[in-house]
Structure 1
């Protein structure tokens, strides 16, 4: 791709996303013939057509499908590099694009973001909330600088991870509902209606896998929600849900019953900074991750420093949310 220009990649991505040459040209502020010429030049450089234009419908060819994620990542990396150079030159302070799981967004992350903003008010913050699988994908594509994800990850994932937190998992149910026994095991979920997250949440996959390993197929009352929706569905009595304990803070209409007896649901691994005796009940490990092939920006490194400083203080002062342990 030595002869490929960044401008051509940007034009290609615009057409690929809009699927219309004239509308893509308008969004880019250029004439449509100029856009078409640059796309043809790019196709000639790569030796393959990128779009199928049959009957006026614009679709990606197999070559275009391969190029699209690569082009997006290249453009994202160039944009990051441009911001990094400007930051060093003193023109702007930078940005941090952070991904985090819903339990962290609903828990301690707000306090960390507030401290970071107080120390670095000129650095813009963007937070993407999502399941661990989604965050890993966006981080790998270059759409995020850092992400707080659940371990373990797939062995071939091109990320560097550092475990920082361990959180307990509980069964969330209405506060006025009394279970027959506490704690509960995965087998106790056999005849219960479950409220289930959408695809992309690691808790969805691990809960379903644990139920199947226990010899039954989970029964869903409703599925497809984000964290806030799932908790609200539980509040009104649609079913129960397996969630991290920290998300129940500030929700008096819910209570959490400890979940035990299914180690495969826990994501605890041996890659901790020091050996810690596992607390009772099921748990999972949260790590901060970045790409192996791109060093974190100055702004991202500054955010990581603030995060670790906050966690050290919270652990020392015992102010971490219930069920959360700092892996120092």
Structure 2
């Protein structure tokens, strides 16, 4: 049974005329008649009574008509649903991002995206790159903004570099500046002995900081650990 045959069958059932049905579905009348006969052979029953130019449905035709209409309607619905998604008129995007991007880059970008695609629902998950890559791998996220290189490279994931950020040290105005007053730059070695506020395990900024400190020969002293950018900055 072919989808096209059901279209032809419904057209004949609704017009009760083979020629008008052929015009309705934009096909030659002989081709339509052949497809109806092929459908009848496959079903093993006549669908129409043809007598003196009058076309009526048989019992088999009456039984098939609501089913055929439902199949055609479901196909139209499926086509519409897919087109809505393909053309970004409707759908859902699960996006993961690191804390710095959630507070810096994302607000303006997401606002512009929503203005352009108001039917797309955005679900944002904030986390460290390790956690976000793991969520991507198990299918819980559609895409993620993470720090490169990936903590655990995977052939199933594709990466594209979008931007580069400078790492800075933030200190309280009341606290002595790391490295001494008047310094415009801070070396990693200047952080030795300083009590630091840092993201929890799973965040790349933490891993980068630890690796940089160890390269200078010391272990960083984390006094407070958190998972949200605003909270971490507030602890300084």
| TM-score, L = length of structure 2 | 0.59
- Deviation of 1:223 after TM superposition, in Å, equals 2.0
Residue aligning to 1:221? 223
Residue aligning to 1:162? 160
Listed one character per residue, the Cα deviations across residues 157-197 of structure 1 (whole Å, up to 9, x for unaligned) are: 53100101001000011234452133111110101111121
**2: distance between equivalents of 1:175 and 1:87?**
56
Matches within 5 A, 1:307-326: none
Task: Please say if residues 133 and 202 of structure 1, whose CA atoms lie closer than 8 Å, have aligned partners that are also in contact.
Answer: yes
Among 173, 178, 199, the alignment partner of 2:171 is 173
Listed one character per residue, the Cα deviations across residues 78-104 of structure 1 (whole Å, up to 9, x for unaligned) are: xxxxxx976425487111111111111
Among 106, 110, 124, the alignment partner of 1:109 is 106
Residue aligning to 2:21? none
- For structure 1, which runs of at least 5 residues remain unmatched after alignment? 1-83, 235-328
Residues 222 and 90 of structure 1, relative CA distance in 2, 3 Å threshold: closer
SS in 2 for 1:173: coil
Listed one character per residue, the Cα deviations across residues 139-160 of structure 1 (whole Å, up to 9, x for unaligned) are: 1111111111110113345310
- Deviation of 1:213 after TM superposition, in Å, equals 1.5
**1: distance between equivalents of 2:83 and 2:162?**
33
**2: distance between equivalents of 1:174 and 1:116?**
36
SS in 1 for 2:206: helix
Task: Please say if residues 95 and 124 of structure 1, whose CA atoms lie closer than 8 Å, have aligned partners that are also in contact.
Answer: yes
SS in 1 for 2:219: coil
Among 97, 102, 106, the alignment partner of 1:100 is 97
Larger relative CO (CA 8 A, sep 6+): 1 or 2?
Answer: 1
**2: distance between equivalents of 1:225 and 1:109?**
17
**1: distance between equivalents of 2:155 and 2:223?**
34
- For structure 2, which runs of at least 5 residues remain unmatched after alignment? 1-77
Among 73, 82, 96, the alignment partner of 1:88 is 82
Per residue, is there more strand in 1 or in 2?
1
Residue aligning to 2:188? 186
Residue aligning to 2:22? none
Residue aligning to 1:198? 200
